[in-house]
Structure 1
Amino acid sequence: MTTNETLRALAARAKETNSLALDTEFMGEGRYRTELCLVQVAVDAETPGEPAWTELIDPFDREIDPTPIVELIDDPDVEIVVHAGRQDIALLRRLWHAHPRNCFDTQVAAAFAGMRSQIGYEALLRELLGVQLDKGASFTHWDARPLSSQQQIYARGDVLHLNEVATVLKGRLEEKGRLDWAREECLPLEASTDERDIDVVFGKLPKVNTLSPSQRAAAYSLVMWREETADREDKPVQKVLADAAIVEVAKQRPSTEAQLRDLRGVHEGIARRRGSAIIAAVAAAGDADPVKTERSPRAQSDPRDAALIVLAESLVRACAVKEELAYELLATRADLQAVVGAVRTGSEDPDVRTLRGWRRAVVGDELLALLRGERSLRIDDQLRVIVGD
């Protein structure tokens, strides 16, 4: 494990190289919030050819001051290199109050370099550098102390070659003229969060839009109570009260624990331990304003759209193969459904990513042309889908 003096020295080196490789280990099982258990960082060695300088930061050690690393993360001149780093960034934003300004995610970049979407770090390392990563300690108790030597070796391995991987990927992307595309795709990473939004949680309850306004108020009150309880007890929300049970309780709005026990989905143990609190949450909703159903206007569907969406997907996949891009970077089925519906009804182009920025140039305009009858698809003698006029 590192020391404050060593961290300051590593931070100084990172400022010289304008790059910091970063990874974390965390535990989410059985908790309300994911717990940060370890932070790994690496910078290029001062001597060319030498292994990267890696350090392990113990967030449980109150004597360790992470400020030098936080300042690096906040510095727009220092590139923070991660792999599939959404959770890593979210944790450091919440716990260390870091505000990243310059992230480069090697998983995202790999998809622009012709590799499969969401490629794992082990596979990426093997493919780019021919390095075999030891994953023997990947599923261990990272919250236990002291960490074993195997855990520490594994943790260092996750950042040891990360800057080198990023350098190789950048070279490939520069050759293809796609480095700016990859950087653009990494921008949302800076706002990653694992904070739970009550409104979002409420909106995802099963069949919540079938409830009456007063029932929805009860459901909202129950969601708020559940979040507070889970946070206080550090337990997963579903262990406090399941989503389906919240909806059922909100429907029936029991006023006694006996009525609560009769409801489907409310187990005896939950009723016994939390019955009075659940009843109180339901009662509290009586003093709240009813929550009206928010129904987004749904586009009118047409039975013919299904075939058009399949055709559109074929074009997008053909473009992805031709351009050596992961298909998932270009479109989702929802994107294609929106485009097909807009063309069919003569509406304005929908605000979907397939029709924005570089994606429009790669596939969006071709997709619109296909749906207007200005393009065709055929199969060549090698069973490839070819886009033609």
Structure 2
Amino acid sequence: MLLVEGLVRLRHTRKDTPAAMADRNDSSRGSRNKRTWQSYRQRHRQRSHAQAHAEAKQITIPPVLEHPMVPQAPPDTVETQADLLALVDSLRTAGRFAYDSEFIGEQTYYPRFCVIQVATTEKVTLIDALADLDLTPFWELIADEKVQTIVHAGQQDLEPVYRILDRTPGEIFDTQIAAAFLGLSYPCGLSKLVSSLLEADLGPGLKFSQWDERPLSEVQKHYAANDVRYLPLLHETMVEQLTKIGRLEWVREENEQFSLPATYQVTPAGQRLRMRGAGMLDPLRRARLEALVQWRDRAAREFDVPPRSLVKDALLLELTRLKPITLEAIRRVRGLPRPVKGRLGEAILQVLEEARPETGQTDDGARRLSRREIEATREQADVIWQRVRAKCDEDKIDPAIVTSKRELTHLVRRFRERGDWAARVSESRLGRGWRGELLGEILRDPPPEA
């Protein structure tokens, strides 16, 4: 909280606002708070780093699986622009490579990339992302539609491509997504996946590592290399198995999400749908929540902090429900960071006051549901969820990659508000593509009345 307080004070005392003029005397204290907090965070990270590495040294590192598609040698390191360009050329010639990254995401709005790992069937290479390198050629490589990039849970790793180039990645194969279509859990960790499909042992991962420390230790290099070392063989193995069961096209379709700008864009509606309890809000409260999400994102970007470290999702929902109309009411909201109450309270009040449903949200036949109908909506969604789970068990697909109870509740809610079940299904992703093929029979008719 001190970090946010320092950032908020520093940012607002630079502007000629009434609050800034009143608090100029606090700026030096805010700076000291910021430095104190950063110093504490640095010492904490160093202690955690040292402890994790001390523990890692006590563990016997498993040998690398002997296989023609698994590089055996220690990783190479790229620290110069010339070496980076040569590496990019070799990866483009190969046509397919594995990619992962190590970054620090809890301190800044955008994650700070520290190490980039790539692998082919021939070798593993670590790119020092903190060296004096222009990484643009590497991001352009991932955006090349003629090159396939293999990742595991790769959305955050791929985000810089869109942000820096204003282009989406090219052909992506995510092994975590593919695993869900092979009867494995979703999300499935890399260690479990490698063990299940390749009978290889990655060993215990580092509990914590200070990836911005230089030079990297041998332990860090080993664990970073293992994050990509097995991905080319995993890809080969999974494609073969998916082809046998007729699921490869479904996996390819699901991986197409990485080529959509929406995957990397922060939208209020998208953020709202991921919040527990948000699906049951009426149109006006939904509009307030989306406005708060937009405001939080702008503020977090301005202060260069992660949005949820500024105001947590649960507190946005609480503000949406309470709709405080005075600063005193803001101060009474439990859990809201004190600096946010004091420095940003007026902005929150303004956002809540001005929020209105978009045209069409309330005049297209939507109606407000009673409490009994809201409870019935949850019960109907539960019924559909049980049917979805049974179908997924039968087809050996993890239901978590198909949908969620939250998404189904949202679907039923829209049906109760607007009617026309078929239209509500068709406008949802559940009525299209491989999901529509899988769930067509289940979603053909409206859910029975609870």
1:170 to 1:261, Cα distance in 2 relative to 1, 3 A: closer
Q: Could you list the per-position Cα deviations for residues 186-209 of structure 1 after superposition, in whole angstroms to 9, with x for gaps in the alignment?
A: 1112346666557877997999x8
Which of 100, 107, 114 aligns to 1:23? It is 100
Distance 2:116 2:85 in 1: 15
The answer for the alignment partner of 2:398 in structure 1 is 326
Which one of 399, 419, 422 corresponds to residue 348 of structure 1?
422
Q: Which residue of 1 aligns with 2:13?
A: none
Q: Does 1:290 align with 2:354?
A: yes
Partner residue of 1:13 out of 85, 90, 110: 90
The residue type paired with residue 130 of structure 2 is F
Pairwise mapping of residues 31-50 of structure 1 onto structure 2 (< 5 A)? 31-45=108-122
Q: In proportion to residue count, which structure has more helix? A: 2
Distance in 2, Cα, partners of 1:179 & 1:186: 11
How many residues align? The count is 351
With normalisation by structure 2, the TM-score equals 0.63
Q: Which residue of 1 aligns with 2:7?
A: none
What is the rounded CA distance, in whole Å, between the counterparts of 1:306 and 1:249 in structure 2?
23
Is 1:182 the counterpart of 2:233? The answer is no
Residue 216 of structure 1 deviates from its aligned partner by 6.3
1:118 aligns with 2:187: yes
TM-superposition CA deviations, 1:230-255 (whole Å, max 9, x none): 4454334465566469779973344x
Amino acid across the alignment from 2:107: G
Match of 2:305 in 1: 235
Give 1:137 shift. 2.5
- 3-state DSSP of counterpart to 1:100: coil
Post-superposition offset of 1:315: 3.2
Q: Tell me, which stretches of 5 or more residues in structure 2 are unaligned?
A: 1-76
Q: Distance in 2 between matches of 1:340 and 1:212?
A: 15
Taking the aligned partners of 2:377 and 2:346, their CA distance within structure 1 comes to 48
- Partner in structure 2 of residue 360 of structure 1: 436
Q: Distance in 2 between matches of 1:202 and 1:356?
A: 22
Structure 2 contact 284–356 (Cα < 8 Å) conserved: yes
Of stretches 35-44 and 65-74 in structure 1, the one that deviates more from structure 2 is 65-74
Q: How does 1:257-272 map to 2 (within 5 A)?
A: 263-265=332-334, 270=339
- Matched with 1:50 is none
Q: Supply the AA of the counterpart residue of 1:133.
A: L
Unaligned runs of 5+ in 1: 46-52, 373-389
Q: Secondary structure at the match of 2:124?
A: strand
Structure 2 Cα separation of the partners of residues 126 and 68 of structure 1: 34
The two structures have a TM-score, normalised by structure 1, of 0.72
Quickly say closer, same or farther: Cα 1:196–1:146, change in 2 above 3 A.
farther
Q: 1:130 aligns with which of 193, 199, 222?
A: 199
Does the CA-based 8 Å contact 1:38-1:59 persist in structure 2?
A: yes
CA distance in 2, matches of 1:309, 1:198: 23
Paired letter, 1:61: A
1:1-389 pair list within 5 angstroms: 1-2=77-78, 3-45=80-122, 53-62=123-132, 64-95=133-164, 99-191=168-260, 196-197=266-267, 224=295, 230-237=300-307, 240=310, 243=315, 251-254=324-327, 263-265=332-334, 270=339, 275=342, 277-278=343-344, 281=347, 285=350, 290-293=354-357, 297=366, 301=373, 309-334=381-406, 336-337=408-409, 338=411, 347-349=421-423, 350-351=425-426, 352-368=428-444
Distance of 1:339 and 1:182 partners within structure 2: 27
Residue identity in the other structure for 2:177: V
C-alpha contact (below 8 Å) 2:96/2:147 kept by paired residues: yes
Q: Deviations over 1:49-106 (max 9, x none)?
A: xxxx1111122212x2324422321211111110011111113432565631211100
Contact 1:230 1:240 in 2 (8 A): yes
Residues 361 and 34 of structure 1: CA distance in aligned 2, closer, same or farther (over 3 Å): same
Match for residue 383 of structure 1? Answer: none
d(CA) in 1 for partners of 2:217, 2:257: 35
Q: Which amino acid aligns with 1:154?
A: Y
Q: Deviations over 1:240-298 (max 9, x none)?
A: 566469779973344xxxx6996555989628xx84x5477479x59x99332456636
Given that 2:257 and 2:263 are in contact with CA atoms closer than 8 Å, whether structure 1 keeps it comes out as no
User: Structure 1's 195 and 145: CA in aligned 2 closer, same or farther, altered over 3 A?
Assistant: farther
Q: Give the C-alpha shift of residue 4 in structure 1.
A: 3.2
